[in-house]
A and B are shown apart, each in its own frame.
Chain A
Amino acid sequence: MGGVGKNPALVWVVNLSAILLVVLWTIPTFGILVSSFRDRDAISTSGWWTALSASEQSLVARAAAPDDAEQRGGQWVIEGNVFGDAEGSLNAWGVRAQEPTAFTPGETTELRSGGVMQVEADGAYSITYAEEPEGRRGDRIFYTSAVPPSFSTENYDRVMTSEGVAQSFLNSLTVSIPATVIPILIAAYAAYALAWMQFPGRPLLIAAVVGLLVVPLQMSLIPLLEIYNGVGQIFGVPAKTYAGIWLAHTGFGLPLAIYLLRNYMVGLPREVIESAKVDGASDFEIFMKIILPLSFPALASFAIFQFLWTWNDLLVAKVFLTSSDNQMVLTGRLVELLGSRGGDWEILTTSAFITIIIPLIVFFSMQRYLVRGLLAGSVKGG
């Protein structure tokens, strides 16, 4: 690589810069992944990057009631531990809500009721009274304590059961799978014709496909919605159906599909196809038995694009599906949660991670084909 490998200082600079870049690009996602496993209070009081260290939390405990004080050598004493039966370590304490950290462990203070309170670092407290105290309510002890990091899948349980995310997950699958499979077949046939058949107007059609690649789909929304409404009225069916969105995604995905597949098919060896023709194979047979199996890499790369696109889409789903529970897709649900649960980061981070988990699995397992598709689609024509 340009003779760089021999210069140790430069190797360090390159490696460090690359590490910096990778860290910058992964930290945002990592942040929500970590947060999605933290509990609600921890997320809202401390940054996710502190999740692995013990966090300091402000808590409150109530001492035993004065009525329960025991007489001991002329004094009445109440003893206990703010942590109950659990273990913990206390950093500071106080007896007034305004000053929850007024005292350090081991210090004493006089209470309004006349007792003297002392709290130790291990949470043990004692209140000593000179005379027999009265009262059913114990004094409050405010304290801050280091809470060891804890992770759980509780947020996931909650989001999947009560926020409608599970239903939306299924809805997203329902949209994406047919919307990925249907355009592949239609595009493959068209791509074959554009690659290997002779007919007038072929260059024009290819140019049209390339042009359609960049048509903003915003253009299509209103006219299509009107058509869907019309069709819905004529046949007495709802205008917003899954079938409608599958076809819409098919339409919007077709130019790229035809373009990618044609580019790939043109590169297949001419001899194979011509010798099959000489042997008397029809175009349909050549397509089914030779072209389709040979085109697998291109088919796979388009399938990944289309799947990611349909799964991640928000706009098309917002226009062509209702926001009812049995049609709302994950991206739509997430936007809705952003509006209604704006500050509940335990719900948002968890839901966000659920929406991105499937694309990430697809991405990491099929990356090879994705890259191949990008290269075929971008470097060649544009």
Chain B
Amino acid sequence: MDVIVYAIVTMVIGVAACAGYFYGTNALLDRIYPDSGENAASNISKANAIRPWLFLAPAMLILGLYLVYPLFNSLILSFYDERGENWVGLDNYIWMIGDEKFLESLFNNAMWLIIVPAAATFFGLIAAGLTDRIWWGNIAKSLIFMPMAISFVGASVIWRFIYDYSGEGDDQIGLLNAMVTSLGGTPQAWITIPFWNDIFLMIILIWIQTGFAMVILSAALRGIPEETVEAAVLDGASPLQIFFKIKIPQIAGTIAVVWTTITILVLKVFDIVFAMTNGEWGTQVLANYMYRQSFIQLDFGRGSAIAIVIMILVVPIMWWNIRNAMKENT
């Protein structure tokens, strides 16, 4: 209970400090450059030049310390040895190219990047198309969307239960094996089967992300002007034709956004692999391997180098995002 009290007290102090900072600095600025008196005009313009930075300072400080500085620091650390003491040049990167586990992670990540965003967007599109035309659509949406709220670790436990394996001939308590045996197949230890186990892990993330894709695509579908659809109906198009030939091309931009958002998530995803297999049986991915190198093997050089690789993979998306945002703001 003490910790909770401590948390609440800190929260109150934190909020008060934030409010105090803004109130205090603004009042101070008004006192230094009062907006009345002989120099009113020049005071106002001086104050107006400073004030935005008062509003921005805390955010810039934290962003700088927690995101921008680490970016450069990681880059530098990736050229140092495991303790971060001696310069080793490109050694960490050379190690990487020759390291089997790293190549496996890279390959697996590529698989995740191809399959998960595609599948989640696809199912999201189907879910949006279906739920938009039934009377209980909102309830259906809520239920499909629900896994979004569940932690990756929680989802991993949920799915590990589904993939659970008991010896052949025993009662299967895992849903998947129970279905397989009831159809006459032999039960499998799903998460240890090379290659396919990756797919079984991906299903977890697809299950989580489909709701996200559905919500956004459904909003986009609703934004399609009625006239285009009506014209197609008059021309005798079937519902499927309307969906694929009229509606989907009009929401292509949104599909791209959903796709990229899920792609970014996939690059960073760590928890599912960590909780399900911890990278065993050929399921390693970059984010988990980075954690392993950094915090289990305590090799900060190699860990940083892997983090840089993840960063490099994100850069094109980052650039695309910025370009889009700039276009919108002009």
- Which A residues contact B (CB, under 8 angstroms)? 1-5, 7, 10, 14-15, 17-18, 21-22, 25-29, 31-32, 35, 43-49, 170-171, 173-174, 177-178, 181-182, 185-187, 189-190, 192-194, 197-199, 202-203, 205-224, 226-227, 242-243, 246-248, 250-252, 254-255, 258, 282-284, 287, 308, 311-315, 318-319, 326, 331, 334-335, 338, 345, 348-349, 351-352, 355-356, 359-360, 362-364, 367, 370-371, 374-375, 378-382
Contacts and interface: CB of A to CB of B under 8 A. Distances in A.
A314 B271 contact: yes
Residue of B7, B73, B154 with most chain A CB atoms under a 10 A cut-off: B154
A170 B4 CA distance: 7
B178 interface: yes
A201 to B, nearest CB: 9
Interface extent on B, as a size class? Answer: 35 or more
21 contacts: A21-B126, A25-B144, A28-B155, A28-B159, A178-B10, A190-B58, A190-B60, A197-B52, A210-B322, A217-B268, A220-B74, A221-B295, A223-B73, A223-B74, A251-B66, A312-B151, A352-B157, A363-B149, A375-B216, A381-B325, A382-B325
Given A25-B143, A381-B324, A4 B239 contact: yes
A222 B303 contact: yes
B6 interface: yes
B293 to A, nearest CB: 10
A214 B287 CA distance: 14
A379 B257 contact: yes
B149 A214 contact: no
Given A182-B18, A379-B220, A242 B59 contact: no
A314 B270 contact: yes
B7 A177 contact: yes
Contact of B329 (A203, A313, A370): A203
B175 A254 contact: no
B67 A174 contact: no
A271 B304 CA distance: 50
Contact of A211 (B84, B159, B207, B322): B322
A173 B7 CA distance: 9
A28 B160 CA distance: 10
B56 A190 contact: yes
B49 interface: yes
B11 A247 contact: no
B6 A2 contact: no
Given A251-B63, A367-B142, 14 more contacts: A17-B130, A18-B134, A22-B140, A25-B147, A186-B62, A215-B318, A222-B73, A282-B26, A312-B151, A360-B150, A367-B145, A375-B216, A378-B216, A382-B325
B212 interface: yes
B268 A218 contact: yes
Contacts of B87: none
Interface stretch (B96-104, B112-120, B193-201, B309-317): B309-317
B162 A218 contact: no
Contact of B149 (A173, A205, A362): A362
Given A18-B131, A367-B142, A315 B270 contact: yes
B229 interface: yes
A378 B148 CA distance: 15
Contact of A348 (B145, B155, B161): B161
Nearest to B257: A382
Contact of B70 (A178, A219, A326): A219
Contacts of A248: 66
Contacts of A7: 239
A319 B130 contact: no
CB-CB nearest 6 A-B residue pairs: A251-B66, A312-B151, A190-B59, A363-B149, A193-B55, A223-B73
Contacts of B106: none
A214 B315 CA distance: 8
Instruction: State the main secondary structure of chain B at its contact with A.
Output: helix
B143 A26 contact: yes
B209 to A, nearest CB: 12
Nearest to A349: B161
A29 B150 contact: yes
Given A206-B329, A248-B66, A284-B26, A43 B173 contact: yes
B216 A379 contact: yes
Interface in B1-49: 1, 3-4, 6-8, 10-11, 14-15, 18-19, 22-23, 26, 30, 48-49
B74 A45 contact: no
Contacts of B150: 29, 312, 356, 359-360
Nearest to B287: A218
A181 B9 CA distance: 13
A28 B158 contact: yes
B173 A193 contact: no
A52 to B, nearest CB: 15
A314 B294 CA distance: 16
Contacts of B258: 378
B205 interface: no
A222 B321 contact: no
B65 interface: yes
B154 A356 contact: yes
Interface in B278-327: 287, 290-291, 294-295, 300, 303-304, 306-308, 310-311, 314, 317-318, 320-322, 324-326
Contacts of A185: 15, 18-19
Contact of B328 (A29, A46, A220, A380): A380
A371 B51 CA distance: 34
Nearest to B153: A331
Nearest to A345: B161
A367 B133 CA distance: 20
Contact of B172 (A47, A212, A222, A338): A47
A219 B311 contact: yes
Contacts of B164: 345
A101 to B, nearest CB: 15
B88 interface: no
A215 B67 contact: yes
A171 B3 contact: yes
Nearest to B310: A216
A221 B291 CA distance: 9
A254 B63 contact: yes
Contacts of B173: 43-48, 345
B133 A243 contact: no
Contact of A31 (B175, B287, B311): B175
